[in-house]
Amino acid sequence: MTEKDFIPSKYQELKEQGQVSYTSPSNIALVKYWGKKENQIPANPSISFTLEACATTTSLKYKKRAGDNSDFSFDLLFQGEPKPSFKPKIEQFFKRVISYLPFLTQYHLIIETSNSFPHSSGIASSASGMSALALCLMELEKEFVPTMTSELFVQKASFLSRLGSGSACRSIEGDLVQWGKHKNIEGSTDLYGIKYPYEVHPIFKNYHDTILLVDKGEKQVSSTVGHDLMHGHPFAEQRFSQAHKNLENLKVIFKEGNLKEFIKIVESEALTLHAMMMTSQPYFILMKPNTLEIINKIWDFREKSKTNVCFTLDAGANVHVLYPEVEKAEVFQFIQDELVAYCQNQQYICDRIGFGAKKLSVK
């Protein structure tokens, strides 16, 4: 597939009005996307667990506008209230996708969106939010192209999500999604996420992710700015080739269920991501003292308990604690006894690996 394959041929007839709705989850990267080229093309391939509990639900009401319009017309409601501060990001998204969804200017849209996770929890909502919106727009396009295959639907939903926010393209499906061209992963592409195509050991099937909310404040540096700082970064090239190698090594690990090796890659990826931030110009630190306290506690407990608990981080201070289903009782007890104290207001979210977005029925 190339970009051109996502430009639709002429629509038959546009519907007057209607409503569609989707719920789409967040995801947590094991090999991180950090650095991008023009048009949301990733500098290196990445892979993530799709999550289940952290999700955005979006409903889209559409009504045909009179005349021939070239601007966008939409209202945005977040958790039931108008949210003007989100509008520029949506407007930018519409501009990026208009050539792939030419019907957009012909409608007035009312976008109502809400998150399952607490507002300003420091959890990035761009992956779930952008993928939920992209799916609603695809559902609308499907109304005009009833012959669209489900394969094209899913690929284009991921393609559009990527143009909204890179990591969002990994939220359409589950449970392991790979994005970005890798020479030894068949079907991999920079344009959209694909379901990881090789054998995965059952130990990875019900993986848990308990998200410890260490700092719920607004980040000082956005991901978009962080990606940008990889241009001219002194370690960029080594980092991008390391991501390729880590993905290669994960193939055998996923197949054999080797958790010791899995942990080495996942934790190294998390720390490398933050090392890139600390060595960019300007440099910055998103971890907080409690992030490090938690990491050290996890290492101590793993040593003592001989369990396979490990951590990963996204672009913030929160810690994602990962562990397999068979170790749930022991690790969760540890989290409650020893880690929750380091969370802001003792807050955490119990999430687990999930299977992607779902269409919701509308009344």
Interacting residue ranges for ligand DP6, rule: CB under 6 A: 29, 32-34, 40, 46, 124, 126, 165-167, 223-224, 227, 273, 314-315
Q: 33 or 62, CB closer to ligand DP6?
A: 33
246's tokens? 């880590």
Strand 176-179 relative to strand 193-195, pairing: antiparallel
Nearer to ligand DP6, 327 or 351 (CB): 351
Separate counts of helices (H) and strands (E) for the chain: 8, 14
In the bound state with ligand DP6, the residue whose beta carbon lies nearer, of 219 and 328, is: 219
Residue nearest to ligand DP6 (CB): 166
Choose among 220, 218, 160: nearest CA to 192: 160
> How many residues are there in the chain?
363
DSSP 74-112: EEEEETTEE-GGGHHHHHHHHHHHTTT-GGGGGEEEEEE
- Radius of gyration for the chain, computed over Cα atoms and rounded to the nearest angstrom: 20
Q: Which is nearer to ligand DP6, 170 or 302 (CB)?
A: 170
Residue type, 351: D
CA distances 86 to 57, 145, 161, 322, Å, are: 15, 30, 16, 31
**Minimum distance from residue 222 beta carbon to ligand DP6 (Å):** 8
- CB 108, min distance to ligand DP6, A: 26
Q: Do 317 and 215 touch, CB atoms closer than 8 A? A: yes
Q: Phi and psi of 283, rounded to 5°?
A: -85, 155
DSSP code for 353:
B
CB-CB contact of 212 with 343 (8 Å): yes
Q: How far is the CB of 273 from ligand DP6 (least distance, A)?
A: 6
Q: How far is the CB of 310 from ligand DP6 (least distance, A)?
A: 17
CB of 75 to ligand DP6, least distance (A): 23
Instruction: For the CB of residue 33, give the shortest distance to ligand DP6 in the complex, in Å.
Output: 3
- The gap from C-alpha 332 to its chain's centroid, in whole angstroms, comes to 24
Which tokens hold the place of 129?
A: 């939010």
Of residues 130 and 298, the one with the C-beta less far from ligand DP6:
130
Residue 360 token pair:
């919701």
In terms of CB distance, is 221 or 292 closer to ligand DP6?
221
Beta carbon of residue 329, minimum distance to ligand DP6 (angstroms, whole number): 29
- Closest CB to ligand DP6 among residues 39, 69: 39
Question: Which H helix or E strand runs over 290?
Answer: helix 289-305
Q: Min. distance of Cβ 207 from ligand DP6 in angstroms?
A: 16
Nearer to ligand DP6, 122 or 166 (CB): 166
